Chain A
């Protein structure tokens, strides 16, 4: 009888494990495209946690559902269940197993975090270059460039616009252009309130804090156009504070810089500024708001690159 119970439990565990592994594989498809080396690392951790989480959820929900379906009292059965106050070995097991699990999860998360090394000065250059290299071989790309730029691209956030400055080439833009397969370094500046630098396709996010310059780095690995969104609430037009991010081949990137440098600066379009001065909202209370900053005046306003 005892052996039979154990066998049943083992069977159930195997079935749950198989289902959980399958759900864990599905988890990759719930996320945006993996456009950076960090995205690959984070998605792997996410899939792992989805697998573990599914196993625990299915186990607990399964036991509860079994009870609900099969262990209801009859309509006229007013007797009590067995007087079971506890079971010490069982309680030890279900304390120790979660404890071991969280240490495992924390250890794995720490490992992934070390490999990402997205924040702060570049102490991890060798390691992170290795990630980029591994990522590039993994994705089949071979044009990994060694001549990496050493100066950071400056990111300026203000209510409610993003502006990017490429100091070496003296180019400014409202669209963030990045070369693929290179470690990108950004220095994040805010001119007024807290903002958040968030590119979902890169899986990276960092608050931008006024009065501080934050060094931030990551490695894009997939060419294409993505969205940068303000992730830290910044006031009235917060939702409109978005920008395009263009990841392109290093050659195309250099060309864009060269061409943009020749353009005279013009005012870019800015949604917050437009909306504020249009002032034709359907349900307007006339509540006074902080006035949006004038649109950035840049060499390469958003959208121009695609027309070139």
Chain B
């Protein structure tokens, strides 16, 4: 059997990932977008587990009202690092990895526009990840000012050392910004310039539209955050006074720099997940995406609106009334294009022929939780309600439904859906479903209780709390531990299936899309001849061919 599999793989001129001579390329400076995509995914998943351990330590402290498990400084370091790792080392890089893998295949390109830039952008991730982790070992420990790092707290440097946790944190965030800007330039160029013949804008899969919309945000938003981080670094290290009120600086100015990027960043995260939903639902409901053009264009409308809503994070920060009202209006408006997408997915599923395998289950679970998060989001947009729940657990519950409920569930849907394409192996449905149910229950147990806690007035970021909040906190902590365990069947499934899973055909899901017309995994150059696209995506229920030259895409060499 082993000989046979080597023979089969040599026919498509590419050893399978996992074959002895093949391991190395995942650890080296490869310029193949598919290798880089998998490098991103595996690296970021490693950091997801680290961030998850931090989360479980936090929930361990919060299972009792008193601050009795950790020193308060350690607790504060834990939630700072949890947020930072989960955003900058898990969510962003994992989505960049997924986009890296899929975009060139979906638009019929042989690689990204700038393959070397792509590799450099990736290798910055382990670099700043290491810097961030190293901050645990400097005197005074890692940054304890939260992932938002508001001055003046972030400028207080009790150790007095130049090299301190906050300084390393800012350095890591700045490098992360550089890496993401490199990625954004690459994605936007690739999508604009490298589409295959016949791949017009309105023949692109929605996933590509959402990646484009998300990466445009990186281009206009990240410079603001990176500038803010550098100014804060200067305040901290050489004593400038941009943000230090004791020297005449303005601490609220930093909040504008920070949120001008970090709110749109939420859309950098959720837009590709909208793309995943738009790809997964049609395949497993066997129907075209409902209202494709509107769904595609509304991604760009979200990009535009996302740049004018940031002050809703600052409703309680000395923001004047007129500004509160203006940003309440823009924030609420953004729910319109988002609502259009939700309704379009429901209409896609409605009347379909549903097959509830693992990716579909994760996508459906993600959609349910996204709708819930959207509703609490509108509540938060309403200034009077936000004045009560701002900086309480209600906000924490809301964004964990977005970031875990919708984003992580959507990512899992994508992992399972494209696993056969990436590895050439099928995953185990049984373990996949177990993973789904554990994740669904864990997510709701963990994050739902945060809503009543916030409404009752429990502030976020606290290491200790009044005993009246104990009940819901115990449930949330149990949910967090369950969520931690839920990753075990996933890891088992991914590793086990990659090593010894059943061989995957080109198109195990009978899906429509360029990536499904080539072998699993695709060859180094993706397409031998560029595909000539002759139909829009999502042609389910019709039998029109997608490309004019399906036979020319790959050259199958006869075995010698």
Contacts and interface: CB of A to CB of B under 8 A. Distances in A.
Given A64-B346, A282-B69, A49 B385 contact: yes
B156 interface: yes
Indicate the size class of the contact surface on chain B: 35 or more
Interface in A163-196: 192-194, 196
B354 A84 contact: no
B384 A60 contact: no
Interface of A: 30-32, 38, 41-42, 45-46, 49-50, 53, 56-57, 60-61, 63-64, 67-68, 71-73, 77-87, 90-91, 94-95, 98-99, 102, 105-106, 109-110, 112-113, 116, 118-120, 192-194, 196, 198, 200-201, 203-207, 209-212, 214, 227, 229-240, 242, 275, 281-285, 287-291
A112 B324 CA distance: 13
A47 to B, nearest CB: 11
Contacts of A77: 353
B333 A207 contact: no
B347 interface: yes
A290 B463 CA distance: 17
19 contacts: A60-B346, A63-B350, A71-B351, A80-B540, A83-B287, A83-B539, A84-B288, A85-B292, A98-B340, A105-B332, A106-B329, A109-B382, A110-B325, A113-B383, A193-B156, A196-B391, A209-B317, A230-B459, A231-B391
Contacts of A32: 456-457
A102 B286 contact: no
Interface stretch (B21-29, B70-78, B439-447, B477-485): B70-78
B64 to A, nearest CB: 12
B244 to A, nearest CB: 9
A210 B342 CA distance: 43
A204 B444 CA distance: 29
B330 to A, nearest CB: 10
Contacts of B368: 61, 64
A105 B378 CA distance: 9
A181 to B, nearest CB: 21
Interface string B138-168: 0111001110001011001011000000000
Interface of B: 67-74, 76-77, 139-141, 144-146, 150, 152-153, 156, 158-159, 245-246, 251-252, 285-288, 290-294, 316-318, 320-321, 324-325, 328-329, 332-333, 335-336, 339-340, 342-344, 346-347, 349-356, 364, 367-368, 371-372, 375-376, 378-379, 382-385, 387-388, 390-392, 452, 455-457, 459, 461-466, 510, 538-542
A119 B153 CA distance: 24
Contact of B354 (A67, A86, A94): A67
Given A45-B382, A64-B346, A85-B291, 11 more contacts: A42-B387, A57-B371, A81-B286, A83-B288, A85-B292, A193-B153, A205-B316, A205-B388, A205-B390, A233-B145, A288-B139
Given A64-B364, A120-B320, A205-B390, A287 B290 contact: no
A121 to B, nearest CB: 11
Contact of A49 (B328, B339, B378, B387): B378
Find the residue from B286, B351, B452 having the highest chain A CB count within 10 A: B286
Nearest to B138: A287
Contact of B336 (A38, A98, A116, A120): A98
